[in-house]
Structure 1
Amino acid sequence: MNNLRVITFGTFDVFHVGHLRILQRAKELGSHLIVGVSSDQLNFSKKARFPVYSQDERIEIIKNLRCVDEIFLEESLELKAEYIQQYHADILVMGDDWEGKFDHLQQLCRIMYLPRTPAISTTAIIEKIRD
């Protein structure tokens, strides 16, 4: 096993198999997986709505996954570089829906965009429940 530190970020609201799979694949890239969970306020600023589950509940879920080694609260999208440096990350992993958006951080670490699980999204799940 390599000694690479992998970092990823997400809201992880209404946790589903797509979330689990991307975290498992991120962990396979290194020996230590660090996850930044978006704060309720950050999620509101991005999507104009609060998550279904509070940041404390979402942190508890992610913290208890076997593949996750370390977790922190992400409070700003603009702090990605600082988080990478603070946690000494070698690789930043994001879903391919973010393709290209973090390429400017390549001087800090390797950037990888992993394919999302097809036909699964938190938004779609929430809409299905509403209907």
Structure 2
Amino acid sequence: MPETTSHADDHPRTVITFGTFDVFHVGHLRVIERAAALGDRLVVGVSADALNLRKKGREPVFSQAERLAIVAALKPVDEVFVEESLELKREYIAQYAADVLVMGDDWAGRFDELGDACEVVYLPRTPAISTTALIEKISGTS
């Protein structure tokens, strides 16, 4: 019989992570793969276009629907949803029964208060890869 991950209440260990995932690159893929390795099920919140505009001061290159489709097509991803607000992380954790919240280490400390709802893990970013830098390079503004 195949070995399975065992849990006290015998439910799959759910990992949740969030991102804009605009101009999808290998750094995005690596964080998704590393997040998926921390559990049995990976749920990904893709930032709404309006949230990205508030957060980064610009519209994403790819639309919300396109970014959702790209992330949903990835093998490690079990479910995607639209993240409407950074302040709703606790509600998303509860809604998806997440056991682990994974964020990039550029957010280190920002979500520590959610440790009472689930385990909080900050993963190091892939060095020298940045969506903003890629957009600047492509547009010739760097």
Give percent identity, aligned residues only: 65
The answer to whether structure 1 residue 60 and structure 2 residue 45 are counterparts is no
Gaps of 5+ in 1: none
The answer to whether structure 1 residue 22 and structure 2 residue 34 are counterparts is no
Matching residue of 2:94: 85
Matching residue of 2:41: 32
C-alpha distance after superposition, 1:25-83 (max 9, x if no partner): 00000000000000000000111111000000000000000000011000011100000
Distance 1:14 1:106 in 2: 31
> Partner letter of residue 47 of structure 2?
S
Matching residue of 1:114: 123
Q: Please, what TM-score do these two structures have when normalized by structure 1?
A: 0.98
Gaps of 5+ in 2: 6-11
Q: CA RMSD in A?
A: 0.7
> Partner letter of residue 127 of structure 1?
E
Matching residue of 2:83: 74
Find runs of 4+ consecutive structure 1 residues off by over 2 angstroms: none
Distance 1:21 1:125 in 2: 17
The answer to whether structure 1 residue 100 and structure 2 residue 105 are counterparts is no
Q: Please, what TM-score do these two structures have when normalized by structure 2?
A: 0.91
Distance 1:89 1:16 in 2: 25
Aligned residue for 2:116, secondary structure, equals coil
The answer to whether structure 1 residue 49 and structure 2 residue 20 are counterparts is no
Matching residue of 2:8: none
C-alpha distance after superposition, 1:91-120 (max 9, x if no partner): 000000000000010000000000110000
Number of aligned residue pairs: give it.
131
